[in-house]
């Protein structure tokens, strides 16, 4: 069975999402700053309405705008995303001990990679691809480990924040976060 949606499924998805919905979905998934044109292309919608939606998302605090370069770019408010993710972790049913164990596991994985490859960062690991004579499988493995290492570093920050702010993030009986 194909992973590609059938023509009927693709048509249904297009009928059920508006251009505005698609712009919001693309914008919330940005991993790096992007222009309105790039976002419009990804959302399969025209530039001007995309720009209006992006400006509303900036006004709402969902996105930030950077006008310092040659082109205006938009990117998620990473602080807001971090707090939302920490809240989801807090409310997920995991205990603070579970999260502490997970941080220890992630840090152990990173320590193993540092020892195995004698490097201190994902980029140093990537540099070994250029420096060492490696077969394509070893190169691919190092690239994958470097990506995973960066992902784990980011997760450690979020999970660590959740642990530090565990009491603050806890909803009280009325569903309001309480300060601990």
Question: What pLDDT digit, counting tens, does each position of 103-151 carry?
Answer: 999 999 999 999 999 999 999 999 999 877 899 999 999 999 999 999 9
Q: What pLDDT is recorded for position 180?
A: 41
- Going by the DSSP 8-state scheme, the letter that residue 177 receives in this structure is B
Take residue 69 and report the two structure tokens written for it. Answer: 């370069």
Phi, psi of 128 (to 5 degrees): -65, -20
Take residue 56 and report the two structure tokens written for it. Answer: 């509303």
- Band (pLDDT 50/70/90 cuts) for residue 79 is confident
Q: What is the pTM of this model?
A: 0.65
């Amino acid at each position: 069975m194909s992973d590609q949606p059938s023509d009927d499924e693709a048509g249904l998805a297009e009928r059920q999402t508006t251009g505005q919905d698609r712009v919001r979905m693309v914008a919330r998934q940005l991993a790096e700053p992007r222009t309105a044109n790039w976002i419009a292309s990804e959302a399969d919608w025209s530039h001007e309405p995309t720009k209006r939606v992006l400006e509303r998302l900036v006004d709402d605090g969902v996105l930030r705008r950077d006008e310092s370069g040659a082109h205006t770019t938009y990117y998620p408010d990473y602080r807001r995303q971090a707090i939302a993710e920490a809240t989801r972790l807090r409310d997920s049913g995991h205990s603070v001990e579970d999260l502490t164990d997970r941080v220890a596991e992630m840090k152990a994985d990173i320590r193993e990679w540092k020892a195995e490859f004698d490097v201190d960062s994902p980029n140093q690991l990537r540099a070994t691809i250029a420096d060492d004579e490696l077969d394509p499988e070893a190169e691919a493995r190092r690239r994958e480990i470097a990506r995973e290492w960066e992902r784990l570093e980011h997760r450690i920050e979020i999970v660590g924040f959740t642990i530090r702010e565990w009491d603050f993030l806890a909803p009280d009986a009325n569903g309001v976060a309480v300060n601990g």
